[in-house]
Structure 1
Amino acid sequence: MTKSTVEEHETRGPTPKVFHDLTNAPTPLPDVAQEEWWLDAGSLLSRLLQVGQYTPKQQEEHLCFFRQHFLHHFGPYPPTWNSVLTRSGLPLEYSLNFQQNRDPVVRISFEPVSHFAGTSADPFNKGPSEEMVDRVAKLKLKNFDRTLFDHFATETFITDNEVERISDLDKYPVKTHTALAFDLNGDDICVKGYVHVRWKSMSSGTPIRDLIQTSFAKIKAKMNCAAAVDLVDAYMAESFSYNQYNFLAWDLTPLHQSRLKLYGAHNEVSLRKIEEVWTLGGLLTDQIATEGLELIYRLWELLGLDSTTRQYGNGYDDYMNQGVDDRLSPLIWNYEMRAGSTRPSPKIYFPVHGENDLKVATAISHFLASLGPKFDGVDYVECLASLYPHLDISRTSRLQAWISYSYTEKGVYMSVYYHSTSSYPLPGCVH
């Protein structure tokens, strides 16, 4: 790694000593692309780990994991594959999760990419995720189990033969098929899988709802969550929420510890729609749902989002010359169906991409403070500023993309999702 390259990235702000030591390790990275991804994305990860109060040993372990198992799955730098994971098209999205009485947890959502992504050899970039799961499986991570990954691969992943049934692939700007996520829980790493089911649906002629529910039907009894699955299905069908934007997620853990997740999206961003989604159209009205909804009202007011129907058309936002339709994001939600539970747990994703970052950060700080001493010590504005020390967050509007919110008997569970490189925007990234 050249001295000039390192110095160029260091102008974007200080990074922890652990990161510098790894950057200057005697064993160099094998190519320039990996060096650039390490400096650009790895430096931000190191600052996130500091914000999360990870010990120096934990920081080193997680940065080494990132260096050894992520970098060669990024593909070219700057990226040539546009991922659905982020509004910028980056195949990487970091988030910080805030819960009461514990330090923030760093999470990494990632669509592994190869140089074949988008070519006739792998038009949906499906292969790298499967390869990464194979690689991670060999690490013997605590509680890692690929049973659900293999199940959904069989039921919902498009096969090579099925790819040929989809004509005129170039007319689809978003082709992400699968992705992974990694929760850095202290010393441990928990893995999750994701799949967009539209491609299997298109190639097989199977309606989205049928494809999803058939895949769930084969495991919901084993996971003892059939009642929750059926309740979610009833609302999603009644509200016409099964569509091309649905995707599924699951934990790569033993079945009795795992969760199924079904995601939905809608262009209406309003309290009315959020209330409907939160209560499953009035099907979920217990005390937990009621308490959680009251806090949603508070967060909505603090964020000051406009109630509107957003004409989001699946576009990417490169931070410079895009129109408003490309800038604004839709409402996203998911329903978590946990093994052994009859009650689905809703999660709302407030779209804040395109909103002033300082305004959003101030709203988050006030919301956390309003929850009382359980969130004492969280100065979120300071957290955000420390992640991007080279930027004036009062003048940016793309550093925070989503705020996810859920509520259980344990209280508030909230995450913030970030633009995930130190570069802003990523150099040479064209959509």
Structure 2
Amino acid sequence: MFITKTLNASLQGVYRILSDVLDFPDDDWRLWWHSTAPMFAEMLQTANYDIHAQYKHLLVYKEHVVPFLGVYPRNDRDRWRSILTRYGTPFELSLNCSDSVVRYTFEPINATTGTEIDPFNTHAIWESLQELMSIQPAIDLEYFCHFKRDLTLDAQESIFLHENSLAGGEIMTQNKLALDLKGDQFVVKAYIYPTLKAIATGKSVQELMFDSVRKLAKERASVAPSLAMLEEYVESRGPDSTACPRLLSCDLVDSSRSRIKIYISEQVVSLSAMQDLWTLGGRRKDPSTLAGLDMIQELWDLLQVPPGIRSYPEGYLPIGTSPDELLPSMANYTLLPNHPAPEPQLYFAVFGMNDMAVADALTTFFERHGWIDMAEKYKDSLRAY
């Protein structure tokens, strides 16, 4: 109870004070702020950001990100639907528990998104990046420009897909951004989905992504070994594999420090499938990988994720409904410079499961691994959100 009161007091402070003094040019801007900033403020407080950082990050969000979230989502309004969430909303908050780092991810949207001018939202991200670069000049676009050119639609491809109605379903997202909030600074990360590019070119997502990274590796040879191991693993799964490359990300920092990550979706949800993703089919055998296997087993047992074979559902859920679906698993692989193997990260597919059961499992996991502060705050923080 004490923790809940403390968190609510924080919300009454930073969020309320900013809301009292900030100007909102239109209703969409105002609604986005009041529906997302309270949770954002709570997360910053939970992760122990100092008060100056809390004000800065909330102001950056309000002034430089909210204008790129588009119309406020309601079921009776036409809007651009983003792959970012199952509700098609273009914004999501998350917390790295081990490092106490808050992140938010968004798909930039502007007035031309979804129109004849930009039917597949190819261009809004440039305007959003220019806005962020006005307050963070160190943002480096070298890797982003490379992958953007190789993996998203050019003007002719966009016209071709649009005029011939070849895009098919409702999944139109090509790129999105994330801000990792470190102290009072932020680091920008870009994600790129090559699905539409694959339709336009007749190449697979796997072929497009690995070809693009391989071209980059000719100039940055240090990532070649880890790329080779990952590509070997993916190809070893065969043509009927349930594990498919889905998207790619890179940090928008100097190329010598930028991390390239390749994300793979796995339709088979099981402990053995998670173990295979983690070890790259047994290719990673170092002590830290083997120790990670024990943690995967522990978390799998705690979460009680229902096993099965799953595909991504088509379309989106209506705003305000409770999910009654389960999703595939996901892994990403960081191509580390001068490392022989990529570094894996697994995502447990808990969407659609009981929130309190998941919270209980995670609290137990935090306690067992010494994250006492997070274990004590976690469930109360969820209630406050």
For normalisation by structure 1, the TM-score amounts to 0.80
User: Hey, what does 1:238 align to over in structure 2?
Assistant: 236
| RMSD of Structure 2 on Structure 1 (CA) | 2.2
Stretch of structure 1 that moved more, 298-307 or 75-84:
75-84
Which letter does structure 2 place at the counterpart of 1:136? L
1:76 equivalenced with 2:71 (yes/no):
yes
Q: 2:154 aligns with which of 132, 150, 159?
A: 159
**Structure richer in helix, relative to its length:** 2
* Alignment match, 1:60: 55
Q: State how 1:27-426 maps to structure 2 within 5 Å.
A: 27-78=22-73, 80-99=79-98, 102=99, 104-141=100-137, 143-166=138-161, 167-169=164-166, 171-223=168-220, 224-240=222-238, 246-318=246-318, 324=324, 327-372=325-370, 375-379=371-375, 382-389=377-384
Q: CA deviation at 1:291?
A: 0.7
User: Given that residues 80 and 114 in structure 2 are in contact (C-alpha distance below 8 angstroms), is that contact kept between their aligned partners in structure 1?
Assistant: yes
Cα-to-partner distance string for 1:310-345 (whole Å, 9 max, x where unaligned): 244234334766884xx2111111111123333211
Give CA deviations for 1:6-35 in whole Å, capped at 9, x if unaligned: xxxxxxx7624121111111x511111000
Do 2:242 and 2:266's aligned partners in 1 also have CA atoms closer than 8 Å? no
User: May I ask how many residue pairs the two structures share in their alignment?
Assistant: 368
CA shift for structure 1 position 171? 3.0
Tell me, in whole angstroms, the C-alpha distance in 2 between the residues paired with 1:74 and 1:21. 23
Q: Would you identify which runs of 4 or more consecutive aligned residues in structure 1 move more than 4 Å?
A: 240-245, 319-324
Cα 1:195/1:59, change in 2 over 3 Å: same
- Equivalent position SS for 1:122: coil
1:114 CA drift (Å): 2.0
| Cα distance, 1:222 vs structure 2 | 3.9
User: Could you tell me how far 1:245 is from its partner in structure 2?
Assistant: 6.0
Shift of 1:242: 9.1
Q: Does the C-alpha gap of structure 1 residues 323 and 349 become closer, same or farther in structure 2, counting only changes over 3 Å? A: closer
CA distance in 2, matches of 1:62, 1:145: 20
Equivalent position of 2:15 in the other structure: 19
Distance, in Å, in 2 between the alignment partners of 1:228 and 1:148 is: 17
Deviates more, 1:54-63 or 1:283-292: 283-292
Say whether the 8 Å CA contact 2:112–2:118 is kept in structure 1: yes
Alpha-carbon contact 1:261-1:336 (below 8 Å) kept? yes
Structure 1 residue identity aligned to 2:150 = E
Partner of 1:9: none
Read off the aligned partner of 1:44 and give its amino acid letter: M
Provide the secondary structure at the position in 1 that maps to 2:160. Answer: coil
The farther-off stretch of 198-207 and 163-172 is 163-172
Provide TM-score, normalisation by structure 2.
Answer: 0.89
Contiguous gaps of at least 5 residues in structure 2: 1-7
The one-letter code matched in structure 2 to 1:122 is: D
Deviation of 1:243 (Å): 8.0
State the distance in 1 between where 2:381 and 2:182 align.
21
How many percent identity over aligned positions?
30
In structure 2, distance between residues paired with 1:147 and 1:75: 27
Q: Deviations over 1:109-142 (max 9, x none)?
A: 110112332222222112221211122223235x
Question: 3-state SS of the aligned residue for 2:373?
Answer: coil
Which amino acid in structure 2 is aligned with residue 88 of structure 1? Y
Deviation at 1:309, TM superposition (A): 1.3
Residues 205, 245 of structure 2: 8 Å contact kept? no
Residue identity in the other structure for 1:205: G
Alignment partners' CA distance in 2, 1:294 and 1:250: 29
What is the rounded CA distance, in whole Å, between the counterparts of 1:252 and 1:202 in structure 2? 27
Indicate conservation of the 8 Å contact 1:201/1:211, yes or no. yes
Q: In 2, distance between residues paired with 1:212 and 1:384?
A: 39
Shift of the 158–385 alpha-carbon distance from structure 1 to 2, 3 Å rule, reads same
- Partners of 2:244 and 2:265 within 8 A in 1: no
What amino acid is the match of 2:122? Answer: K
| In 2: Cα distance, 1:202 partner to 1:185 partner | 38
